[in-house]
Amino acid sequence: MQDQLPKQYLPLAGKPMIFHTLHTLCNSPRLSGVFVVLAPHDPEWQRHDWSGFSDKLACLPCGGATRAQSVLNGLKAARDEALVGDEDWVLVHDAARPCLTQAQLDKLLDELCDDEVGGLLAIPVADTLKRNNGSGRVACTESRENLWQAQTPQMFRCKLLVEALSMAGGATMTDDAGAIEALGYQPKLVLGDARNLKITYPQDLALAELMLRNPY
């Protein structure tokens, strides 16, 4: 993002980016708790006013060096504090996806609440995929048949996800479903929405702000 400020705190529609993510999650009557996993001694969180959120919001300053480690640490901390049980559903969501809507969240919950494994929001890949040969030229065109682009939230039982992330060890998992897949399970793909974009590049902020100011 070419900015010294951590991405989740960058201003978006007059608020820190993470505010919009938390607003959607905390306002869902179907979620009993919302945990923010912070890096230990995170200096930015305390600089903002979060008092307007419900008492279901809790901070867990136990983030790790990688995404997978942060999720695992957060789940263990929540379980140790009896905030979540082994068989409870947990949803893992990226703070950098601030355009998640209640409709998308409800669709995920509706389709997975009785599922044996769990799953994730995702959308079919629409663009033609080119593989770089390492020198900025096309090595080949990849088939996009049956390819889906993973989003978040991703929803699994607490015990299963802890086991999956623990088994992953030091491996770099870019999403939680990948850890579940490594155990031999097949997470369910729940059709999401392209507007649930992940803020990755500076120009994404302008697009996200447009969507937040013009909800559908």
Count CB neighbours of 29 within 10 A. Answer: 6
Q: Is residue 2 part of a domain?
A: no
For residue 76, what is the domain's CATH number?
3.90.550.10
Residues 190 and 104: their CA atoms lie apart, in Å, by 10
Residue 63 located in a structural domain: yes
Reported as a single tens digit per residue, the pLDDT across 82-117 is: 999 999 999 999 999 999 999 999 999 999 999 999
Mean of pLDDT over the chain: 94
Residue 81 inside a domain? The answer is yes
pLDDT at position 169: 67
**Residue 175 placed within a domain:** yes
User: Model pTM?
Assistant: 0.93
Predicted local confidence at residue 122, as pLDDT:
98
Number of helices (H) and strands (E), helices first, in the chain?
Answer: 6, 10
- Asked whether residue 1 is domain-assigned, the answer is no
* Conformational region of residue 123, where left means phi above 0, alpha means psi within -120 to 50, and beta covers everything else: beta
Q: What is the span of the domain harbouring residue 205?
A: 7-213
